[in-house]
Structure 1
Amino acid sequence: MGALVMKSLQNASLDATDIVDNLLTVGIVVVDRRFTVIMWNRFMELNSNLRAEDILGKNLFDVFPELNRNWLEKKIRSCLVLRSASFSSWQQRPYLFRFKASNMLSLETDHMYQDAAIFPVRDAAGLVEGACIAIHDVTELAEAKRLLDLSLDQALDLEESNRRDALTGLFNRKFFDEQISQEVVTARRHNRPLALAMIDIDHFKTINDTYGHVAGDRVLRALATLLNNMLRGSDYLCRYGGEEFGLILPQISPEHAGILLERLRKAVENADTLLDDGVTVVKLTISVGVMPLREGVAPGTMVRMADELLYASKQAGRNCVSLYKPEVAPVPTESR
């Protein structure tokens, strides 16, 4: 491509060398087969602080020892042997020559981002005698992409924070309401089982009244961590409100859901929750209602029925799990 441009310029009776020499938007470096510099245009002079007469006739790698010689030498030799161009994007390699960023708006970087093209230079007989390295300053583009990526990361962080409960780090009520609806649709579309559990800390008001709300917050965080560490990656534990939690369990049978929740109940019962004073230990229990997805049951109804099962556990003496049974009224599976 470079030879064609040069030829067209010559046919137009223009001094192509002078035009290339004085380009301010593209850096042009031409080296021969021994990597001796035979062209160093105005762009290169301004950004390297080296005048052409100070580098012409010298080995490129001697003048710029910081260049990645192994990589660039292979690129140039490949260009000379294969007689074809090669390209390097700033996303693959931020720069070839370490120049200072020329754009005053580029306040977050100390170097110029560059795209580079290397193509063969032919003599009048068409023989490849050297290689031309074209440097394009793409700092503005790189900075724009950086700002875009930063904005995207901030948007994702904001979206994530909007889905999380600030105290426990669990998913919040808004996420729960959206996710249970989505999981019901997915389960029905693919004919997969789904279960929902509502979990409540027993006598939580007594804990708050006895030890204070700071202790109550500590208990909520400790319970959230304990339960979350016992769940699958596909499960969704959410803080539903106050001391109540919602647990969405995709692809699990009613029987296995009951087994899992009984395991969680026992783990809570056996755990010691140490308060922030480092001395006081609080014992917790939970009451649970488990509702599987049933034909014709809407997400809201599923939540309501799980809550009714939770209430059944409370009525049965707390510290137990109540499972939905279609043939009878909901009763606790175990109680104490």
Structure 2
Amino acid sequence: MQIRFENLLWAGMALLLSIAGLIAGRLIRHLDRISHTDSVTGLWNRRCFYLRLAEEEARACRRKTPLCIAMIDIDNFKVINDTYGHIAGDLVLSELAAIFKNNVRTSDIVTRWGGDEFAIIFCGISLQEAYAVMERIRHEVEARFRSSYGLAISAGVISPESDQAVKDLLLTADRALYKAKTQKNVVVALVDFS
């Protein structure tokens, strides 16, 4: 009798440890996911952008495939928060995030850079193709928000040099975005397609 009780006790402890391990594993995955996502839009956040950019740069280098980055700014977004409130602003950000996600491939990485800025890593497509995707997104945003909120987006698209440091890459992308923001409602690529 004593041996059966000890066996049951050990089996019960093993079961409890297994359950605790499953719960801990789920908790760790949950914490990892929420530490890399934006709470308003559900998109990846800037921390995740840096991690994924390093991965995608290495993959593009190994496979000798193109990689492009788009930096996006919402034109006149402050007016939404000032006129309609921050809850309305959050809803607009969520709708914009959905437009971005619905217009890219699942292999592309859409992130909320911060505030009213977003970034997209386009994997395996040329600068011209990334530019075309951003133009399509720009037109959809304009059609959806221009008349109701007066919103549009400006975007800068770049294709990094193979040996370009991340800091320099982001400065180049930011320069393309700045050029677009001076005109508003436009997509700027830093290379001529002709």
Under a length normalisation based on structure 2, what TM-score does the superposition of the two structures give? Answer: 0.90
> Cα RMSD (Å) of the superposition?
2.1
SS in structure 2 at match of 1:139: helix
The answer (yes or no) to whether the contact 1:184–1:299 under 8 Å persists in 2 is: no
Indicate the structure whose relative CO is greater, using CA pairs within 8 Å and at least 6 residues apart. 2
- Aligned partner of 2:91 in structure 1 is 218
Q: 1:265 aligned to 2:138?
A: yes
Structure 1: 4+ residue segments shifted above 6 A: none
Q: 2:164 aligns with which of 294, 297, 312?
A: 297
Q: CA deviation at 1:287?
A: 0.3
Cα separation, 2, equivalents of 1:225 and 1:24: 62
1:271 aligned partner, one-letter code? R
The structure with the greater share of residues assigned to helix is 2
Q: 1:238 aligned to 2:111?
A: yes
State how 1:1-336 maps to structure 2 within 5 Å. 23-26=1-4, 103=9, 138-272=11-145, 281-315=148-182, 317-325=183-191
SS in structure 2 at match of 1:138: helix
Number of residues paired by the alignment? 191
Q: Deviation string for 1:191-223 (max 9, x for gaps)?
A: 111000000100111222222222212211111
- Aligned partner of 1:38 in structure 2 is none
Change (3 A) 1:272 1:311: closer
Q: CA deviation at 1:326?
A: 6.6
- Aligned partner of 1:332 in structure 2 is none
The structure with the greater share of residues assigned to strand is 1
Q: Structure 2: any 5+ residue segments left out of the alignment? A: none
Cα separation, 1, equivalents of 2:76 and 2:28: 39
1:227 aligned partner, one-letter code? F
Q: CA deviation at 1:226?
A: 1.7
1:144 aligned partner, one-letter code? L
Cα separation, 2, equivalents of 1:243 and 1:272: 15
Cα separation, 1, equivalents of 2:23 and 2:86: 38
The answer (yes or no) to whether the contact 1:271–1:283 under 8 Å persists in 2 is: no
Q: CA deviation at 1:167?
A: 1.3
Q: Deviation string for 1:257-313 (max 9, x for gaps)?
A: 11111111111111149xxxxxx9434210000011223212221221111111111
2:127 aligned partner, one-letter code? P
Q: Deviation string for 1:155-214 (max 9, x for gaps)?
A: 010011000111111111111122212221221122111000000100111222222222
SS in structure 1 at match of 2:149: strand
2:187 aligned partner, one-letter code? V
1:321 aligned partner, one-letter code? V
The answer (yes or no) to whether the contact 1:167–1:221 under 8 Å persists in 2 is: yes
Percent identity between the aligned chains? 35
SS in structure 1 at match of 2:72: strand
SS in structure 2 at match of 1:166: coil
Q: CA deviation at 1:319?
A: 0.7
2:34 aligned partner, one-letter code? S
Under a length normalisation based on structure 1, what TM-score does the superposition of the two structures give? Answer: 0.53
Cα separation, 1, equivalents of 2:82 and 2:155: 23
Cα separation, 2, equivalents of 1:216 and 1:323: 28
SS in structure 2 at match of 1:322: strand
